Amino acid sequence: MNFAVGFKPLLGDAHSMDNLEKQLICPICLEMFSKPVVILPCQHNLCRKCANDVFQASNPLWQSRGSTTVSSGGRFRCPSCRHEVVLDRHGVYGLQRNLLVENIIDIYKQESSRPLHSKAEQHLMCEEHEEEKINIYCLSCEVPTCSLCKVFGAHKDCEVAPLPTIYKRQKSELSDGIAMLVAGNDRVQAVITQMEEVCQTIEDNSRRQKQLLNQRFETLCAVLEERKGELLQALAREQEQKLQRVRGLIRQYGDHLEASSKLVESAIQSMEEPQMALYLQQAKELINKVGAMSKVELAGRPEPGYESMEQFSVSVEHVADMLRTIDFQPGAAGEEEDEEVALDGEEGSAGPEEERPEGLH
């Protein structure tokens, strides 16, 4: 069944519009929301002006938006559920606008401005029976039609109902659907807010665990650096002791060599003396000195391998393998928190040797 579409159909009766209007009343001014409409963290809506009035009343010392003084924000309670709303330095201007409610208000005002029962109301006319108004609804075909179509036309075997009855029923269904959609959107907004909080919590927890991880590895590096310093000091002490001994022997041998060279020089000069009597006066003493010098026993030389420092080698392969096994332990989260508190309290008194990996001593 075809019919001409020469008018815009009425979108609701007075009862449906009243029900919708009740959902659009501000709990502060008890009037319909005036734009802009803001949504609170508890998912209730307020006119921004009304929200600002409540906020100003709860925070009388807070600077207005036009002030040049930077404020640190404030708080007030939702008039519907008494949930505490914490605002940043932007005040109520930092709250999110509820564009869905604003759009519904615009649609409501447009529909409210239309007369529901105007005498000049234009009716749909049946295309098959041009003089007949569309006044019934075919339930079988789900289309509006006229009475003659039911009696003589294509819908004579169909079940029909009065057009106003179906109109009111479907308007009520649409109004209920709108209300459910608004409520569903509120729930979706609440879920979005919760997931945003989850994201923030994930970021906070990750940042905290990164800090703890850095502290653990910095502590481990400090233990390794301290142990390396101790081993280097031990190596330096051994080096100094060996060098002192060898250098002492060098000085002793040098002194002996110098005395022996001088004695040799004196003996040669004596042998060059041409007068026998004068030579014999010095020869006996020189012979005794040379004999004594040749019998001097010097300190023993360093034993073979004395210069080796291989005893100071360190094996770190097993320690490196152990370090590579370090991994996360989800079950130890609580213990790590206790350890963190203990480390903070004992940082100045406890030595790092207690945490040294085995094999570095």
Domain ranges of the chain: 16-60+72-111
Radius of gyration of the CA atoms of the chain, in A: 52
Task: Provide the pLDDT for residue 110.
Answer: 82
What span, in angstroms and rounded, lies between the C-alpha atoms of 157 and 137?
13
Task: Provide the pLDDT for residue 73.
Answer: 67
Q: What is the pLDDT averaged over residues 176-192?
A: 86
Instruction: Please return the burial class of 280, using the count of CB atoms within 10 Å of its CB with bins 0-12, 13-18 and 19+.
Output: exposed
Q: What is the pLDDT averaged over residues 115-124?
A: 53
Nearest alpha carbon to residue 299 among 259, 262, 246: 246
On the question of pLDDT at 356 being above 60, the answer is: no
Q: What is the pLDDT averaged over residues 123-150?
A: 78
Spell out the residues 6+ positions from residue 238 whose beta carbon is closer than 8 angstroms to its own. 309, 312
**HSE-CB for 51 with a 13 A CA cutoff:** 29
| Band of residue 235 on the pLDDT scale cut at 50, 70, 90 | very high
Nearest alpha carbon to residue 352 among 172, 257, 224: 224
Nearest alpha carbon to residue 73 among 57, 51, 92: 92
CB of 37 closer than 8 Å to CB of 25: no
- H/E element, 81: none
Instruction: Please return the burial class of 19, using the count of CB atoms within 10 Å of its CB with bins 0-12, 13-18 and 19+.
Output: middle
The strand pairing partners of 3, in sequence order, are: 126
Residue, of 60 and 210, whose pLDDT is higher: 210
- Collapse the DSSP code of 75 into the 3-class scheme (helix H, G, I; strand E, B; otherwise coil) and give the result: strand
Q: What is the DSSP letter of 9?
A: P
Q: How many CB atoms lie within 10 A of CB 92?
A: 24
Task: Provide the pLDDT for residue 37.
Answer: 85
CA angle 205-207-211, nearest 5°? Answer: 115
| Band of residue 269 on the pLDDT scale cut at 50, 70, 90 | confident
Lowest mean pLDDT among 20-24, 64-68, 153-157, 303-307: 64-68
Q: What is the pLDDT of residues 96-106, one digit of tens each?
A: 888 888 888 88
What fold, for 16-60+72-111? Herpes Virus-1 (3.30.40)
pLDDT above 90 coverage of the chain, percent: 18
| Band of residue 91 on the pLDDT scale cut at 50, 70, 90 | confident
Torsion of CA 326, 328, 331, 333, to 10 degrees: 100
Locate tokens 């007030």: which residue? 76
Residue, of 299 and 137, whose pLDDT is higher: 137
Residue, of 131 and 323, whose pLDDT is higher: 323
Q: What is the pLDDT of residues 211-222, one digit of tens each?
A: 999 999 999 999
What span, in angstroms and rounded, lies between the C-alpha atoms of 83 and 217?
44
Alpha-carbon 311 to chain mean position: 49
Residue, of 227 and 136, whose pLDDT is higher: 227
Strands (E) across the chain are located at 37-39, 45-47, 74-77, 84-87, 96-97, 136-138, 143-145, 160-162
Nearest alpha carbon to residue 26 among 12, 41, 13, 39: 39
Distances (CA, A) of 129 to 3, 8, 157, 160: 9, 21, 18, 17
CA angle 22-26-88, nearest 5°? Answer: 145
Task: Provide the pLDDT for residue 334.
Answer: 56
